[in-house]
A and B are shown apart, each in its own frame.
Chain A
Amino acid sequence: MSLWFVLAVNSITFGGLLFLLSAGFSLIFGLMRIPNLTHGSFFMLGAYFATSLIARGLDFWTAALVAGLGVALLGGIVERLILRRLAGAELAQVLVTLGLSFMVADVCLMVWTGDPIRIATPGALTGATSIFGLGFPTYRLAISVIAVAFAIGLWALLERTRLGAMIRAGVDDPAMARVVGIRVSRLFTIVFCLGAWLAGFAGVIGGPILSVYPGLDGEMLPLALVVVILGGSGSLLGSLVGSFVVGFLYNFGQAMLPELAYVVLFLPMLLVLVVRPQGLFGRQAV
């Protein structure tokens, strides 16, 4: 009984981290139709930046925000200089972003060496919190809270601001959005930076659980893909629901059917692709 409860709570906390990771991916894919395979690298890069910032004396949360900005800046450069020229050429985008992810991995190896680096849990959140007599890592619970806060913030941004309205218009019909005078190209840069920032920030937030090491990018990217395909691209609600679904599939799959853990994780993705290609909450076909 307690095993189930532990797994359930952990599914939610892991889902929270996945949401932070995949919300940016979903925004970028939804608006720009760019399957950004460097998203895992942004995640890893954020964590690496943070280790250097923390080593220079910054506290964890400031480091997380600043590291995110560093990644956002890089994302902006990538979008302006490279991806912009490849608009509409999906195969080229896939290849370019994949190539970039290899380059980022190599540069990280050079700068931060191959040794895994640990990020300490921020002071106030170390230790465990007791829920119904069972102990849970406080930091993980905090991640779910952060994720929900971000979900609300992003929702408000998309649904309640002018920028959000323009982004939604861009997602629904980029050509028409252009016609009515929305500068879609600038919108693209903003969204790409925002998505990159989210990924970098998520990398730092995940750091105390995952630590940082070469290969982290490749471990996280597929999870972001599954979330977005399940939830539907460009849909915030989809990312949120998808993240928690994947969190549950991941936790219960590995605990109950460890031999089939990946089947449990990816089979629903296959089914969704076949039956409902736009995802559970997607606005349009992928």
Chain B
Amino acid sequence: MKNGRPLTITRRTFLAGAALAVTMPAPAFAQQKPVKIGLLTVKTGPLAAGGIQMEQGTQCFLKDRSFTLAGRKVELIVADTGGNPAGTKTKTQELTERDQVDMIFGPLAAFELLAISDYAAQAKMPILSLAAAEDMTQRKPNPYFVRASGTSAQYMHPLADYAAKDLKFKRLITLADDFAFGHEQMGGFQRVFEDAGGRIVKKLWPPLTTPDYTPYLAQISGADAIVQGFAGSNPLKFMKQYKDQGLKLPVLGGAPAGDDALLKSFGDEAVGMISSNFYSNDVDTPSNKKLIERMVREYGNIPGTYSAGLYINGMVAEAALEKTGGKTDDREAFVKALRSVSLTDTPRGPFKFDHLGNVVGSFYIRRIERKSDKLVNTTIKTYKDVSQFWTYEEKWFLSQPVYSRDYPPLKS
């Protein structure tokens, strides 16, 4: 702040800094005030694993840039939403009204994002989030929203294409957590898979908190493979129980199911799982190497979806600030700059945004393999320039209902 040292601001250091500032003489000349970034993340409760990685990714990026973007100092204010909508709303209001941040990174979960979308739009607050809810950039777009990761189904469209055309699967069973993210993933998978000539024979929806998946595993039969869209710690539990039950069908998975950050928790039961993601450790770009190197050095972990996603958000913010000459006061102009960002050297490879603020970029089909003593994801196919509408025409796509538990319906 005033002493010109790069600084990350948590509440504690903020208070310490404030105390220090009082005792210091005022600077003789006015300096340009820092860009304030508010990070809405989850540091307590079941979602904390992803939330902590989000903060790590943000920190890695800002450290790489010495807390300076487009010539302006950056102040990061981290807020813990507690993983619930009410907490998210309170923290968003604090960041907006008290801290007067220039933009918000996060929140993590779709239900958190939906809780603040209207408020943030009224406050003209730019939001860069990983939350994957389809309609945020489709049927109910928020003009101040930017998503550099992807929608729930955006990962699944290419995976379905790969399953039908490369793996030549004909009949599949889907399993996913029984909430909007799971529904949207499998809806997207089903549409593309069936349009390519395949058939979804069964869709199973275990509740989000299911300790024992066996009742669902017992229903798996008559298919070439299964597709699972579990998130959080559920993929770990699911794969273990799947193999313990003696099931041998190939497993396809969504982005959280095969997340790189989860690999250290998996055992051999996950070997062979094919999953789709916007990010992969083996993306060959200088910035990805830098991210991995710093994550390992600072936190002893390889980056996954959440940390890489936030690192990428940082790069988007940086590129937009460079376009506006470091200015954020004119929010419309800043959001316009954010949405016109087009980058090539990022941890996820090249991408740009569509007119609704959603990413158009590469998606990676990866297979989990064992290399010496650890598991790694190896990219086996890259789909380039994937839009949230896949190959469908935007107008037609938006005229259809949003993917849900019962849409598209199963063919009888």
Contacts and interface: CB of A to CB of B under 8 A. Distances in A.
Interface of A: 3, 6-7, 10, 14, 105-106, 109, 113-118, 120-121, 128, 135, 137, 139-140, 206, 208-211, 213-216, 218-220, 223, 250-255, 258, 261-262
B100 interface: no
A215 B83 CA distance: 12
B237 A219 contact: no
Contacts of B210: 219, 254
A218 B209 contact: yes
Nearest to A206: B211
A247 to B, nearest CB: 9
B209 A250 contact: no
Interface string B45-88: 11111111000000000000000000000000000000000000
Interface stretch (B259-267, B283-291, B392-400): B259-267
A255 B215 contact: yes
A113 B45 CA distance: 11
A251 B49 CA distance: 29
Interface in B195-237: 204-207, 209-212, 214-216, 218-219, 232-233, 236-237
B329 interface: no
Contacts of A250: 212, 215
A10 B217 CA distance: 11
B25 interface: no
B344 interface: no
A116 B49 contact: yes
A253 B261 CA distance: 34
A252 B214 CA distance: 10
A139 B45 contact: no
A209 B218 contact: no
B51 A114 contact: yes
A262 B207 contact: yes
Nearest to A128: B246
B240 interface: yes
Interface string B81-120: 0000000000000000000000000000000000000000
Contacts of B233: 116, 211, 213-215
Interface of B: 43-52, 204-207, 209-212, 214-216, 218-219, 232-233, 236-237, 240-241, 244-246, 261-262, 264-267
Contact of A116 (B237, B244, B246): B237
B49 A113 contact: yes
Contacts of A213: 46, 49, 232-233, 236-237
B214 A109 contact: no
Contacts, number: 118
Contacts of A7: 214-215, 218
Nearest to A102: B44
Contact of B265 (A116, A139, A208, A215): A116
Contacts of B241: 209
A163 B299 CA distance: 51
Contacts of A218: 46, 209
Given A10-B212, A211-B233, A253-B215, 18 more contacts: A3-B219, A6-B218, A7-B218, A10-B215, A14-B212, A105-B45, A106-B44, A114-B52, A115-B264, A116-B236, A116-B262, A116-B265, A135-B245, A209-B212, A210-B211, A211-B237, A216-B211, A251-B212
Contacts of B50: 114
Contacts of B265: 115-118, 211
A195 B232 CA distance: 30
Contacts of A254: 206, 210, 215-216
Nearest to B213: A254
Contacts of B204: 258
Nearest to B243: A137
A9 to B, nearest CB: 9
Contacts of B240: 118, 208-209, 211
B215 A137 contact: no
A220 B211 contact: yes
Contacts of B236: 116, 118, 211, 213
A14 B264 CA distance: 27
Nearest to A208: B240
Contacts of A14: 212, 214
A10 B244 contact: no
Contact of B267 (A109, A120, A219): A120
Nearest to A130: B246
30 contacts: A6-B218, A10-B214, A114-B50, A115-B49, A115-B262, A115-B264, A115-B265, A116-B232, A116-B237, A116-B265, A118-B240, A118-B267, A120-B267, A135-B246, A208-B240, A209-B241, A211-B240, A213-B49, A214-B46, A214-B48, A215-B232, A215-B233, A216-B211, A218-B209, A219-B211, A220-B211, A251-B214, A254-B210, A255-B216, A258-B205
